[in-house]
């Protein structure tokens, strides 16, 4: 009985200094779950190091980068719930979030590094490990997309928030293209903005850039719709009573 009351308290507890709460247990639970998944991914890498040698520590760095848009979206969503109409702050956070969002789906392209040897055990370990890294990183991106969409809906109209969501998808894909093909990263926006502008102009005439952006954007859009339906859908029924 005491254990049941404790579990019920944990489910309903909210970290709050005011009403409505600044940070809810629901958001923290999502972060904790994604953190556990990230640690499992790192564990796969530790196993690889123990039995042979690390593939590339950039996987861990890229996984860390996928957390940046997640944290930004987490705070953006909670701030809009707490303080209401803060469009200027939300727009600023949206631009910063969008600059780092490509780091989440970027790890899908790491699967291209797989060296196939069907009779080698490490081939299968590497396949599972790289897929797990990409999966967790993608989870981070999708959850951040959901939280940002929620924040937009708090501030802007449904049509405006849907438009912002729709535009962010191919832009994320374009960011992945800049990272993988053009070998750029999010920090170049501050470090070398002229190089960013140069690559943006050149990419306008690159068919690969358009195909890459649209396909990654489509993938993110489909997965986001699935996530949205799973979160928002509720089965409702009425129990028939006998007369």
Give pLDDT tens digits for 194-241.
777 777 778 888 888 899 899 999 999 999 999 888 877 754 545 555
What pLDDT was estimated at residue 165?
Answer: 93
- Asked if 64 contacts 70 with a C-beta cutoff of 8 angstroms, the reply is no
- Asked if 55 contacts 113 with a C-beta cutoff of 8 angstroms, the reply is yes
What pLDDT was estimated at residue 17?
Answer: 39
Per the prediction, the chain carries an average pLDDT of: 81
What pLDDT was estimated at residue 127?
Answer: 85
Distance, in Å, from the CA atom of 39 to the CA atom of 133, rounded to the nearest integer, reads 10
Distance, in Å, from the CA atom of 94 to the CA atom of 171, rounded to the nearest integer, reads 13
pLDDT at 187 over 80: no
Q: What pTM does this model have?
A: 0.78
Other Cβ atoms closer than 10 A to 148: 28
Tell which residue, 107, 93, 30, has the closest CA to residue 61: 107
Per-residue pLDDT, averaged over 146-174, amounts to 92
Asked if the bond preceding 181 is cis, omega within 30° of 0, the reply is no
């Amino acid at each position: 009985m005491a254990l049941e009351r404790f579990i019920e308290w944990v489910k309903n507890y909210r970290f709050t200094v005011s009403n409505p709460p600044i940070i809810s247990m629901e958001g923290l639970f999502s972060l904790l779950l994604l953190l556990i998944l990230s640690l499992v991914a790192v564990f796969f890498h530790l196993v690889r190091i123990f039995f042979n040698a690390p593939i590339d520590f950039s996987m861990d760095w890229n996984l860390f980068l996928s957390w940046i848009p997640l944290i930004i979206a987490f705070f953006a969503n909670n701030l809009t719930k707490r303080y209401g109409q803060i469009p200027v702050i939300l727009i600023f956070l949206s631009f910063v979030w969008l600059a780092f969002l490509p780091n989440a789906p970027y790890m899908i392209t790491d699967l291209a590094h797989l060296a196939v040897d069907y009779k080698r055990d490490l081939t299968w370990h590497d396949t599972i490990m790289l897929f797990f890294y990409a999966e967790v990183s993608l989870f981070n991106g999708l959850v951040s997309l959901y939280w940002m969409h929620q924040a937009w809906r708090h501030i802007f109209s449904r049509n405006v928030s849907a438009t912002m969501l729709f535009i962010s998808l191919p832009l994320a894909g374009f960011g992945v293209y800049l990272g993988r093909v053009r070998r750029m990263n999010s920090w170049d926006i501050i470090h070398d903005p002229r190089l960013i502008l140069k690559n943006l102009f050149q990419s306008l005439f690159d068919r690969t850039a358009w195909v890459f952006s649209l396909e990654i954007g489509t993938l993110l859009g489909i997965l986001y719709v699935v996530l949205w339906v799973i979160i928002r859908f509720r089965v409702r029924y009425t129990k028939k009573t006998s007369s």
